[in-house]
Amino acid sequence: MNQPLCPDCGARLIDDASENIIEREDGTLVIDAFPALVCEQGCGYTERIQEFPKIIAQQDEDRLLLLYPDDQGRILDLRDQILHPPIHYLSILGRGYWEDYTGNHDVQTLLDQVYDSEAPNLFTYATSELSQDAFLCWLLSWSEKKYRSSHPSLHRVAVEFVSTIFTAHNRTMPEIDTLKIIPQFKSLDILAIVNETYAIMIEDKTFTKNHSNQLNRYRDAVKKKYPDLIQLPIYYKIADQSNYRSVEAAQYIPFTRKMMLDVLEKGRGIKNAIFLDYYWHIQRLENAVSAYRFTPVTKWNALAWQGFYQELQKELGGDWGYVANPRGGFWGFWWKQNPNKKYYYQLEQRKLCVKVVAKEEENKRELRNEIMKKILERSAEEDLHLKKPARVRNGRTMTVAERQDYIVTNEAGLVDLASTIAELKKL
């Protein structure tokens, strides 16, 4: 091994240590000590030595758990040559059977050979729906028979994508003899004509929703141009939305992020950079939505709240979405426990509110006071912990009671989902 030399004076660099003194905004000082290469002649040059993670556990011989600073763990899949995103290592250990590590791998060599799921990703910057359209067209194109032998893995995933669309429409996918892909057909994102018989129609959304009867217009446009084709419309959405009622009313099938991840999982072992970047782009999104399970409630972001609300929706019904207001807005979830009652419940992230909507002819003050009295009396009798709002206002929609601590957490500040749902069902 070549002896490293100081770039300033040419002397040898030797293993040692160094430190930086950092002053915080509050005036306190923090000492950051680290291993370093230091100039043997003392000219002042130092170079931080890169510290590699430690392997602490394994699953069989092809999955290793790496421990990073701040107790972050990452799974290294040797078979697929993938380094998975960081999660607290205790959360990883709690999700499956892990054994003590008994190997003698060189960590630096392993990391040089794998795809890092946290590396810069093309789709972090190519965020428009047109960029996603391009990927979907690219993936569809691999389903043609001519790629079956030359690129079997990509062909297999592409066929799985097309097959999933056919299955969603209760049809069996034929062997693909001909495929014509038309981007932006009459404003429809993608039209793919299979065997001159089927029209796969893809309306692609990232973080937006359908609007202005556009889905029906697209079906009519395809029908006018290709009256004999069997339409297979899908509403492709990588982000989440509260419901798909208007989508399904237009006879489109929602094709969700989880459905696409199931398709892309069939491509394990593919090394194509475009494929891997897209897979990890939506896997990161899935991880962010699922973060409510292993992140303290106080650190939830918008996506974590969406994931939490989706779990509540399975048990309570209701809807969720972003509520804008002059104070900056919040992610909310609302449902009606009893359809015969005049009030409904709304979660404003960490706050639970009881709301009442006044009809045009009703006396708002009287209605508010009447419902508030009933709610607070019931809360006292049944230990619901509801309180009178700090501010009481008249309006068409009024808050009549609230609670600040409805989310049940464990000692680590993580949500106890079952207990939280049980608490909400008591309302």
HSE-CB at 146 with a 13 A cutoff on CA atoms is 4
- Tell which wins on pLDDT, 229 or 395: 229
Q: Model's pTM, two decimal places?
A: 0.77
- Tell which wins on pLDDT, 183 or 10: 183
Domain ranges, ordered by start, for the chain: 13-48, 54-119, 124-286, 294-425
Digit-coded pLDDT (tens) for 391-405? 888 888 899 999 998
Instruction: Walk across the sheet containing 29-39 and list its strands.
Output: 13-23, 29-39, 46-48
Asked if pLDDT for residue 351 goes beyond 90, the answer is yes
Digit-coded pLDDT (tens) for 356-374? 988 888 888 899 999 999 9
The tokens for 261 are 């991840």
Which residue in 119, 121, 37, 125 sits closest to 83, CA to CA? 119
Distance CA 273, CA 118 (A): 13
Helices within 78-232 (DSSP H only): 89-93, 107-113, 122-125, 129-141, 152-168, 214-225
Strand blocks (E) in 130-208: 179-185, 188-194, 198-205
What is the reported pLDDT for 207? 60
Q: If DSSP codes are grouped into helix, strand and coil, which group holds residue 130?
A: helix
Digit-coded pLDDT (tens) for 65-91? 999 877 888 989 888 778 888 888 888
Secondary structure letter of residue 372 according to DSSP:
H
Distance CA 234, CA 169 (A): 9
The tokens for 27 are 């005036």
